[in-house]
Amino acid sequence: MGEALIVAEHLTKTYGSTRAVDDLSFTVAPGRVTGFLGPNGAGKTTTMRMILGLDDPTSGKVTIDGRPYRDLAAPLREVGALIDAKAVQGGRTARSHLEVLAASNGIPRRRVSEVLRLVGLEQVARRRLGTFSLGMSQRLGVAAALLGDPHTLLFDEPVNGLDPEGIQWIRQLMKGLASEGRTVLVSSHLMSEMALTADHLLVIGRGKLVADASIDEVVRGGSASTVLVRSRDDAALAGRLVAIGANVQAGSSGGLLVGGVEAAVVGEAALAGGIVLEELTPQRVSLEEAFMELTRGDVEFAAGLLADVPLGVAAAGWGAPTPTAAPPAGPEVRP
Amino acid sequence: MTAVASAPVRGEVRPARPAGFAQVLRSEWTKMLTLRSTWVTLAIAVLLGVGGGVGISAAAAHAYRQGHIAPGGWKPVQVSSISLFFVQWAVAVLGATVVTGEYGSGMIRTSLAAVPRRGRFLVAKAVVLTAVVLVSGEAISFGAFLAGQAMFGSGVPHAALGQGGVLRSVVGAGLYLTAVGLLSTGLGFLVRSTAAAMAVIVGLLFVFPLIFGAIPVSWLKQVDKWWPTQAGQQIYTQIGRHGSDVLGPWAGFGIFCAFVAAVLVAGYLVLRSRNA
């Protein structure tokens, strides 16, 4: 298969006065799942449409394996994409829809049965697509993407409309495809989903690239981590910590939140002052918080984003929210 | 549906046939035949053309026998082809929806991702539509002619295919319908919606010619003469009549074909430059 890279160079797309995608440059490498993350309206779908040659960039370019999509002779055998599961004609059956696509790229007919079985739709292969649920349509979209056994796969919000079993299945599928050495780019506006599937992240906000890093790097770099400490004498400890340059605040449920120094340094300061520690907990920033932090100010519709992060940061289970990562509250949020 | 079998993701697709124009043509052919709306539209076309032709011919023959039509004004070929005027609406719907059905549903994005070469995509659609409408259009035209002449019965003058200009008229009607279908396909690429495409078609085929005919101004007569769809109809409406106010059958049809080609080229330019 070779090095099937997706390479975007200064990709820009404007609609009227709106910059949907703004000078985006990135490389998507094979062998891992690359998450394409950003709030709704950040330009993820527009970027994917430009990769597929459906939209022309206003400037810049994007190539697959060194070639623009429109130059691929049999694109389905190189790139499989699930952009909009409902982009089918309802009057056709699942089987004939796939047969249409297979015929156009010289893909043998028996492969249609194969992918229908693969996505679990063989029982409804002769049903008209107009009667399909969103979940079934998503599965059909996955079948269409896999039809040509492509080296590169694009999935736009693939878990939308899937039942829990389907979500589990598609996560495994994407990881499996990447482990076979394929290039997999999957978009989502949910950080929690990315945490479960992606190895690498491209984070965009308002059409601009905000981060291009591994999940770990995003979490570490997202926000200065803090340490929660409780002691017999918080006041004395606070004084010692400030003296060594730490940033100290009162914790929301007692104790001190210490920023700027490692947990070990806090311990040493306590030992030096003869102060007994009751708790010393590094506060890891959750992926969700890191994402909020990265895209803050890049969010087009703040209330909409909040609605998309249903469980909030506290429920992410990785420690209490830090003050900096708290979601905007108050008058901006509609009741 | 929920049970997912462990079929191989990897498949035998690589020693595949080359993907060229023939493959796109096959894909478009499958598309056309696997939509129920294609068959419904064609059935309506047959019903309007042959069924309507039988009814109109029978009624006209009755009127002739009753003496309501003077023997000098009796035109048997025209009578049995009146119903084709209605068939062209069905053909126009088919021609437009081949394209606008894809825009309406979003299928166009799936299609263009599979066939990114816009010219190849458009030509394949046009070829498949031509094949389907030419075959069914000729069948309807011959059916309307033969059934219509059979309805005249005794005492009413018939036309036969061997008479001068008759075969050209009957074959020409099928050609005209094919050109209308292609015109509609081109308009579909231009305006991308069924309603808009049909509005333009109704204007071109019906509303403007009606206005030209209603207003007795000499320059409007000239416009009417050269108006593409009016010129195109000469190939089947003209039997042995050739005045200076109308074009010859083939010259008229040639003008119509040039117009259809221009619309298809414009449709291609829009398809190539506008976002899908």
| Among B44, B74, B56, CA closest to B145 | B56
pLDDT band, residue B51 (cuts 50/70/90): very high
Q: Where are the beta strands (DSSP E) in A38-189?
A: 59-64, 79-82, 152-156, 183-188
Q: What is the mean pLDDT of chain B?
A: 91
Q: How far apart are CA B239 and CA B73, in angstroms?
A: 13
Residue B163 CA to its chain's centroid (Å): 26
Q: Residue B195's CB: how many other CB atoms inside 10 A?
A: 11
Higher pLDDT, A176 or A189: A176
User: Taking CB atoms and an 8 Å limit, are A118 and B5 in contact across chains?
Assistant: yes
| A105 in contact with B, Cβ within 8 Å | yes
Contact between A20 and A46 under an 8 Å Cβ cutoff? The reply is yes
Q: Quick one: CA torsion of B146, B147, B149, B151, rounded to 10 degrees?
A: 160
What percentage of chain A exceeds 90 in pLDDT? 61
Chain A residue with minimal CA distance to B34? A92
What pLDDT is recorded for position B242? 61
Q: Which residues of A touch B30 (CB under 8 A)?
A: 96, 99-100, 103
Helix (H) or strand (E) holding A12: strand A6-15
Say whether B172 sits in a helix, a strand or coil. Answer: helix
Q: Which of B110, B112, B121 to mutate to test the interface with A (most CBs of A within 10 A)?
A: B110
pLDDT at A264 over 80: yes
Mean pLDDT of the A301-325 span: 37
Contact between A222 and A289 under an 8 Å Cβ cutoff? The reply is yes
Of A231-235, A283-287, B155-159, which range is least confident? A283-287
Q: Which residues of A touch B102 (CB under 8 A)?
A: 89
Give the full edge-to-edge strand order of the sheet including A18-28.
A18-28, A6-15, A59-64
* Nearest residue, CB atoms, B106 vs list A56, A74, A84: A84
What pLDDT is recorded for position A324? 40
CB contacts < 8 A, A to B, total 152
What pLDDT is recorded for position A221? 60
What pLDDT is recorded for position A303? 43
pLDDT band, residue B268 (cuts 50/70/90): very high
Global pTM value:
0.82
What pLDDT is recorded for position B11? 61
pLDDT at A157 over 50: yes
CA dihedral over A82, A87, A89, A90, signed as positive or negative: positive
Beta pairing, strands A79-82 & A152-156 = parallel
What pLDDT is recorded for position B28? 98
Residue B223, φ and ψ in degrees, nearest 5: -60, -45
Chain B residue with minimal CA distance to A177? B9
pLDDT at A326 over 60: no
User: Taking CB atoms and an 8 Å limit, are B13 and A107 in contact across chains?
Assistant: yes
What pLDDT is recorded for position A328? 39
What pLDDT is recorded for position A254? 84
User: Taking CB atoms and an 8 Å limit, are A76 and B275 in contact across chains?
Assistant: no
Q: What is the mean pLDDT of chain A?
A: 84
User: Taking CB atoms and an 8 Å limit, are A104 and B107 in contact across chains?
Assistant: no
What pLDDT is recorded for position A176? 96
Of A209-213, A284-288, B185-189, which range is least confident? A284-288
User: Which residue reads 């894909």 in tokens?
Assistant: B27
Question: Identity (one letter) of the amino acid at A233?
Answer: D
Contact between A8 and A26 under an 8 Å Cβ cutoff? The reply is yes
pLDDT at B154 over 90: no
| Among A318, A328, A298, CA closest to A225 | A318
Query: Domain ranges in chain A?
Result: 6-214, 226-283
What pLDDT is recorded for position B227? 94
pLDDT at A318 over 60: no
Burial group, residue A153, by CB count within 10 angstroms (0-12, 13-18, 19+): buried
Chain A residue with minimal CA distance to B106? A87
User: Taking CB atoms and an 8 Å limit, are B9 and A76 in contact across chains?
Assistant: no
Of A124-128, A149-153, B10-14, which range is least confident? B10-14
Give A69→chain B minimum CA distance, Å.
7
ipTM for the assembly: 0.90
Q: How far apart are CA A294 and CA A223, in angstroms?
A: 9
What pLDDT is recorded for position A302? 46
Q: How far apart are CA B76 and CA B87, in angstroms?
A: 19
Q: Summarize pLDDT for B172-182 with one digit per residue, the tens.
A: 999 999 999 99
User: Which residue reads 């291009």 in tokens?
Assistant: A212
Query: Domain ranges in chain B?
Result: 21-273
Helix (H) or strand (E) holding A6: strand A6-15
Chain A residue with minimal CA distance to B26? A103
User: Taking CB atoms and an 8 Å limit, are B106 and A87 in contact across chains?
Assistant: yes
User: Taking CB atoms and an 8 Å limit, are B9 and A96 in contact across chains?
Assistant: no
What pLDDT is recorded for position A206? 87
Please tell us whether the domain made up of A6-214 is placed in CATH 3.40.50.300: yes
* Nearest residue, CB atoms, A136 vs list B1, B109, B111: B1
What pLDDT is recorded for position A195? 84
Give B144→chain A minimum CA distance, Å.
31
Q: Summarize pLDDT for A90-131 with one digit per residue, the tens.
A: 999 999 999 999 999 999 999 999 999 999 999 999 999 999
pLDDT band, residue B12 (cuts 50/70/90): low
Mean pLDDT of the A234-246 span: 90
Q: Which of B4, B17, B28, B97 to mutate to test the interface with A (most CBs of A within 10 A)?
A: B4
Of A94-108, A207-221, B120-134, B251-265, which range is least confident? A207-221
Q: Summarize pLDDT for B215-254 with one digit per residue, the tens.
A: 888 888 889 899 999 999 999 988 765 667 788 999 999 9
Question: Identity (one letter) of the amino acid at B96?
Answer: A
Residue A113 tokens read as: 């049965």
Q: Residue B73's CB: how many other CB atoms inside 10 A?
A: 8
pLDDT at B65 over 50: yes
pLDDT band, residue A317 (cuts 50/70/90): very low
